[in-house]
Structure 1
């Protein structure tokens, strides 16, 4: 056997043909770029369900925070307390509430990245300000 025929046979042995239902694994196609594994329909469904739960919990927390802010502060005309300080307290408290309440809904907050936390905290602050504004009118 020649060297080239040995190389061809070793390449053929390493080649694995995917099954019909298998998804491609992440492989580096170019230096610096990676491809991501495609999700199965079950994984997509689970991710969608988790996204809805995350959004709903954050929205409910924002509505509760806006209602409490209205009941405690009203118009907020006290010059010693600034509205942005109140928002920072709401962000801090809601972070810990969500961190300990997400496991109840079978969501793992340890897997959250900065983008995920920023998303849910934005929803909390947004719903808080909207609720507070609607109650003021």
Structure 2
């Protein structure tokens, strides 16, 4: 006779399952209805949000293109510089520049969340890197 390993024992012996009545637990517990508290926007608010989104995208892209030209004119290929330091400098300067630019454009930066800042800075970095790369070629 061969000896059984612990794994083979568990395969031959079915596990004991205790069944509970789903009907009794479901009937005793009342689940409150989830209400959606999202505010419905009026057409004017939707139009304003759309206009502000377009302005944010245009400002961020122009800042990224300007940053690409400035970095190319100052550092050229940037071989003697640390590339991620240049990138962090561009992100920091454009962040504060956008805070100042949005004020005359009547866009409230106090309403910006992390997602909004991440979005505009991502656009800045994209346009910066694309512009700098195209100027290097």
* TM-score, normalising length: structure 2: 0.74
**Number of residue equivalences:** 106
Q: Which has the higher contact order (CA 8 A, sep 6+)?
A: 2
Unpaired stretches in structure 2, ≥5 consecutive residues: 1-31
Q: What are the Cα deviations for residues 40-97 of structure 1, in whole angstroms up to 9, with x where unaligned? A: 111110000000000000000000000011111111111xx21111010011000110
Instruction: Show the counterpart of 2:117.
Output: 117
Instruction: Show the counterpart of 1:11.
Output: none
Instruction: Show the counterpart of 1:37.
Output: 39
Give yes or no for the alignment of 1:129 onto 2:125: no
* TM-score, normalising length: structure 1: 0.74
Unpaired stretches in structure 1, ≥5 consecutive residues: 1-27
In the TM superposition, 1:74-93 aligns within 5 A as: 74-78=76-80, 81-93=81-93
Task: From the CA coordinates, give the structure whose radius of gyration is larger.
Answer: 2
Whether the 8 Å contact between 1:62 and 1:125 is mirrored in structure 2 is yes
SS in structure 1 at match of 2:104:
helix
